[in-house]
Structure 1
Amino acid sequence: MAGRGHVDVSERRLRPIYDALDANNNKKAIQEADKVLRKQKDLICAKALKAIALLRSSRRQEALLLAAEVASEEPIEEATLQALTICYREMERGDLVARIYENAVKKVPQSEEFLSHLFMAYVRLGEYKKQQQTGMALYKVAPKNPYYFWSVMSIVMQALTTEDETLSQKMFLPLAERMVEKMAKDMKIEAEAEVRLYLIILEKQKKYEEALEVVVGPLGSKLISEIELQSLMQAEMYVQLEDWPKANAKYRKLLLTNPDNWLWYIHYFTSLFHLVDSGWTPSEADEGSSADVVTGTVDMAIAFVEERVADELKNGKRLQRGPFLARMELLKRLTERGNQEAADKIGSPADLLKEYFGKFGDKPCCFMDMRPYLTMLKLDDNAKFVEELQTYIEIPEKAGELGLPSDVKTMQRHICCVGLARSLGLQEHLTGEKRDELIQDLMRRHQHGLQFGTDLLPTDVQPSDSYLLMAVHIKYAEYLKTKKLSLLFEVIVMLEKGVACSPSNAQYKLILIKLYILLGAFQPCKKLYDNMEVKHIQQDTLGYFYSCYAVALGHLTPACSILSSMLKFFSANHKDTTEYIIAAYKYGSFHKIPEIISFRERLNLSHNYSSLAVERMLLDFIMETTNPEQMRELLDYMEISPEKDEIKWDLLKDNRDLTVLSSWEPEERELTDQQIAWSFCQEKQWLRLRSLILRSLAAVILISQP
């Protein structure tokens, strides 16, 4: 009882410090800690809390010394350890967090709690070997499956991160496999996550037959987190084994359960044409139920797809697009393979496209659905095809007046039709007068269509915005041909009016940013970009639109805040992704851990990240220094080495999203992979130059030191 009373007294004395820290009153927290320590000098938790307050008061060195003093006493009290952990994490010293729990485990080796904290500390550091050892120690203390599989996953991560492929394949993965096999033989595998980890280990060793046995065996019944997950994994294993008849049958069976899954159709067609190329005949199929039939000939596949279309039409409910798209995809593949006889059995491309437009033309996705199949149309039939599509659009015509749609669905059909006409090249050779008439027509339709969005939220995009975007694209294409600056100003006026009507349309704002930068006017760009509320990964994928132009156009003060805000995302990347990895361990989502780590590495190797960092350092020299002494101090802080290039040029990733802008351009004007590669090459060359300027400046500063 006396001991309990002592604890209560300590908690009561510490409470004001906790309250002050929670209220962000660090000065008061320090005062309260000093008050407690005067009464009870051996209360090390108060010292740990004082270290946190000192750190948050920008007294880092004092905080580090005080925390080290507490850590040297090797505390095992939960409150003290938690306070030290918070302090060291805010210092970004994960290694010291691991050290205090190592000391705690030495004192209390049977503590499940301390071992768990130590394991997670190693996760933050990426110490996979120590994770493995700590996981097994945990399992010995508390024989629970999650701890055992934490150790297994740590071995897998060693295999995935080692540069020695032989070590990975000959030691780490076989060891992990044996550990899981032992649990399987002892009938101790309990959760789906454990089965999926087993499959990961087998797949990394390319043991697809063994993986298939796991999926179809008793353990496969635990794969229940997704609908048809077990069947889907079987199909994937058949593909890896190149067992095309079984893969075909399995994907066919899956499509019977969900005829709208586009990815399954792609795998189904891939398996089909492998069977066709290998000369497979129906007589070779294994006997089975009708659900396991192998559709290994083109005629059988055509019949199967037509059945899915017929079933969809009989359904009478809201039609699903999958079967209709699958029919066009099959037609396209047969045409590309030169099997015109089979293609004719499906129908003509124009008829299938018109049927699709008739059923789904009122959906915003219709244009993008139809676009890949426009190449099947004959060039001479394009104009006739578009005219026939217009018969599906019920717009009342009035003498001498522009016919306008009466509802959103009709308007959407017309938008799709105009987009298809542009993509087919029918607007390419319009005279100046005809082109202006088309632009005015689109502008009027956009204005008319705004009435259909009066009840929308401010965050919603107006349904008629595509009209204005198409008008902008047409006028901008004319500017590219003539280089008349007046056209550029007209486009900007059109877009500014569009933003006023549809303030949440990111397409308008991105194009405006591009045009303002083209004119050398950076000031409006920051407001437009901020209004888009670009967050998280979009800082990397969309940042290229304007981040690097602030310095180039001489807006140095705004550039400081722009570069800093973007760099914060990359700086927080490691911390944030570490939290996701820890959550994956806690909840058993082992298959997500390599994905998260790969994502983190892609961000760390982002070209945009390197570019922002170099530009920010150059900017700091310009804005923050006025004499050589300040430049030397800044150079020491940045730790720049003139002779050492820190950028991993061969590993840089191009994370730009170059398809973010809507496009209705003809195929020959679409961005190609070659153009993207050439663009990235130029960006890297520019970064090399800026990096060389920075290192040259560092060399000059070092040489000039007295």
Structure 2
Amino acid sequence: MLSREKKNHALKALTLERMGKPEEALAVCLDAKGLLFSQNDIPIDDLTLSTLQIVFQRLDRLDLATSCYELACVKYPNNLEIVMGLFNCYVREYSFVKQQQTAIKMYKIVGEERFLLWAVCSIQLQVFCSSGGEKLLSLAEALLKKHIASHSLHEPEALVIYISVLEQQAKYRDALEVLSGDLGSLIGIEADKLRIQGRLLARACDYAAAADIFQKVLQSCPDDWDTFLHYLGCLLEEDMNWPSPKSTDQICSSNYVDSQSCKGAQLMEQVFEERISSAMSFVEKLQREVHTDSVRCPYLAPIEIERQCRLKGTTDSGKLLAALLDYFYRFGHLSSFTSDVEMFLHSLTDNEKADILEKFEKSSECPLASPLKTLGRDITLLKVRELFGVNLTLPVIELENAAIRMVDVYCENLPLSRDLDPQENMYGEELLSMASSALVLLFWRTRDLGYLLEAILVVEFGLTIRK
């Protein structure tokens, strides 16, 4: 009878909370909690606990939800479902130490690998959020080694966590040995395994070996932009793309290079040209081997190479602009073009921006074979102009005409979207957003509410065509 009453109390509390009566819901919840733990002979079920937890969470009383599970665990210390509920409460409270202790308890109850990994991740969180975690990391490593000795590892995620624990302790060579051993077979995709290997070699300051590994990844995955950045960074021995662990004094980074473990900046000055030439040769090889128009990385790479040369002062700006223009020829019709090159465009001077914009506009005078590509290229030009702040300097009448032209181009190309599924975005929808933004800009410049009304009507027009 009491068991049914406590369930009714929990469901009533949930109902009251959903009805927007938080004070009444809290009062009923507290009654249910008191009833639940008032007598030792009353059984506690996970459903009632979960319901109370949901209500306490919605009422922003995580402490009360946690206390319910803590009391339940005292009564049923070996009930996995209840202990797991307590672990989730500690996760929501960011109680990393208690997370670790609870996960270890679950691991001892059933011996499952996942609970050990939860404990190790909790230890890593403690290290990330505090200082002096060397002993904790040693504990995590010892727990994993003991488990491996008795049960081995069975999931790729477990191996990744094991490697990350070694990596946090700057035990890169140990991590490489683990990766190349029997456990390395857990990572079934060779490219993923090589990426980890390259990262470990780079952290160990073995840049030459890391660059060779990243080359192999790019040969199998030529569109992996992050890997190219790592490859180029290792080739130039100034890779800044690795997230730094807490113990940065043990990590060789681009901000500080240990002259005994890594080559210094003086050597970099001597071999910079040679290594840039090697990188460009490799990129040209990738371009020859790529047989699809969807792979962008080998053609974006020369822009980054020229940017590095420019930073080093070994090239003129013409080569960087030429690389940008070549990329526009190939991919100017893609919606991703502007985001691809945004960083490079921001690095240009005002004169260079005007120059490259003029070249983009001149190259777009000839229509492409596909009307869809022509539309995409026209949108890209408008995005670049917006990125350069051209609209901010246009006279009011010219900005008005630009907004009108955007809507006209959208209407002219509506037939291209005729066969699209109703759930798909229509081609050229960005034009309406840009036209609306231009009208809002006109409102701020003139304080004429008519422009604001027209901006709303443009968006409504688009929703009328395709909601």
The SS at the match of 1:340 is: coil
1:332 Cα deviation after fit = 2.1
Give the residue type in structure 1 aligned to 2:301: A
Note the C-alpha offset of 1:116.
4.7
Is the 8 Å Cα contact of residues 459 and 503 (structure 1) preserved in structure 2?
no
Shift of 1:309: 1.3
Superposition pairs of residues 82-481 of structure 1, within 5 angstroms:
82-92=47-57, 93-105=64-76, 115-116=83-84, 118-120=86-88, 122-123=90-91, 126-161=94-129, 163=130, 165-166=131-132, 168-169=133-134, 171-186=135-150, 188-224=152-188, 228-274=191-237, 277=265, 279=267, 297-312=275-290, 315=291, 317-340=292-315, 348-374=319-345, 375=348, 378=352, 381-382=355-356, 385-394=359-368, 407-420=371-384, 436-456=400-420, 460-474=424-438, 477=441
Q: 1:408 Cα shift? A: 2.4
- One-letter amino acid matched to 1:178: A
1:64–1:387 distance in 2 versus 1, CA, 3 Å? closer
Contact 1:191–1:222 (8 Å) recurs in 2: yes
Helix, strand or coil at the partner of 2:237:
helix
When the two structures are superposed, what TM-score results if normalisation uses the length of structure 2? 0.76
Alignment-derived partner of residue 484 in structure 1: 446
Cα gap change, 1:279 to 1:187, in 2 (>3 Å): farther
C-alpha spacing 1:436/1:124, structure 2 compared with 1 (3 Å): closer
CA radius of gyration, larger in: 1
- 1:48 Cα deviation after fit: 1.7
Contact 1:360 1:366 in 2 (8 A): yes
User: Does the Cα contact within 8 Å between 1:231 and 1:250 map onto a contact in 2?
Assistant: yes
- For residues 498 and 85 of structure 1, the distance between their equivalents in structure 2, rounded to whole angstroms, comes to 45
Pairing of 1:512-527 with structure 2 (within 5 A):
none
TM-score, normalised with respect to structure 1:
0.52
Give the distance between the partners of 2:343 and 2:149, measured in 1 at CA.
Answer: 51
Deviation, structure 1 residue 436:
4.9
CA contact (8 A) 1:261 1:322 kept: yes
Change (3 A) 1:76 1:116: farther
Instruction: List per-residue Cα deviations over 1:414-469 (Å, max 9, x = no partner).
Output: 22234445656777776666555444433422332233334445654442334444
Aligned counterparts of 1:206 and 1:390: Cα–Cα separation in 2: 52
SS of 2:411's equivalent in the other structure is helix
* Amino acid across the alignment from 2:173: E
Question: Partner residue of 1:615?
Answer: none
Q: Residue 329 and residue 492 in structure 1: after superposition, are their counterparts in 2 closer, same or farther (change >3 A)?
A: farther
Q: What letter corresponds to residue 355 of structure 1 in structure 2?
A: D
How many angstroms does 1:302 deviate by? 1.0
1:71 aligns with 2:37: yes
Q: Name the counterpart of 1:558.
A: none
2: CA distance, partners of 1:436 / 1:333: 40
| Structure 2 match to 1:598 | none
Q: Give the number of equivalent residue pairs.
A: 424
How large is the Cα RMSD of the aligned pairs?
3.8
Mark the CA change 1:140 to 1:449 in structure 2 (over 3 Å): closer, same or farther.
closer
For 2:250, the equivalent position in structure 1 comes to none
| Offset, 1:206 | 3.3
Say if 1:101 and 1:117, in contact at 8 Å, map to a contact too: no
From the superposition, tell whether residues 371 and 84 of structure 1 become closer, same or farther in structure 2 (CA, over 3 Å). Answer: closer
Q: Which residue of 2 aligns with 1:652?
A: none
Partners of 1:235 and 1:251 within 8 A in 2? yes
Q: Report if the CA contact (8 A) 1:98-1:122 is conserved.
A: no
Structure-2 separation of matches of 1:335 and 1:391: 30
What amino acid is aligned across from residue 367 of structure 2 in structure 1?
I
Q: Contact 2:443–2:452 (CA<8 Å) still a contact in 1?
A: no
Structure 1 residue 281: deviation in Å? 11
Q: Which amino acid aligns with 1:267?
A: H
Contact 2:437–2:455 (8 Å) recurs in 1 = no
**Contact 2:107/2:116, CA 8 A, preserved across alignment:** yes
1:228-267 Cα offsets, whole Å, 9 max, x none, are 2221111112222232112211111111111101111111
CA contact under 8 A between 1:458 and 1:504: conserved in structure 2? no
- Secondary structure of the equivalent of 1:297? helix
Alignment check: 8 A CA contact 1:112 1:138 kept? yes
Report the alpha carbon displacement of residue 129 of structure 1 after superposing the two structures with TM: 4.2
Unmatched runs of 5 consecutive residues or more in structure 2: 17-23, 58-63, 239-262
CA change 1:149–1:504 in 2 (3 A) is: farther
Q: Does 1:498 align with 2:459?
A: yes
**Whole-Å Cα distance in 2 between the matches of residues 84 and 99 of structure 1?**
11
Contact residue 252 and residue 268 of structure 1 kept, 8 A? yes
Measured in 2, the distance between the counterparts of 1:440 and 1:54 equals 58
Deviation at 1:186, TM superposition (A): 4.1
Residues 468 and 204 of structure 1, relative CA distance in 2, 3 Å threshold: same
Contact 1:223–1:229, Cα closer than 8 Å, also in 2: yes
Q: Measure, in 1, the Cα distance between the counterparts of 2:94 and 2:358.
A: 63
Could you tell me how far 1:176 is from its partner in structure 2?
1.6
Tell me the distance in 2 between the aligned counterparts of 1:353 and 1:444. Answer: 29
2-structure distance, mates of 1:208, 1:49: 54
Residues in 1 aligned to 2:322 and 2:25: alpha-carbon distance in whole angstroms: 75
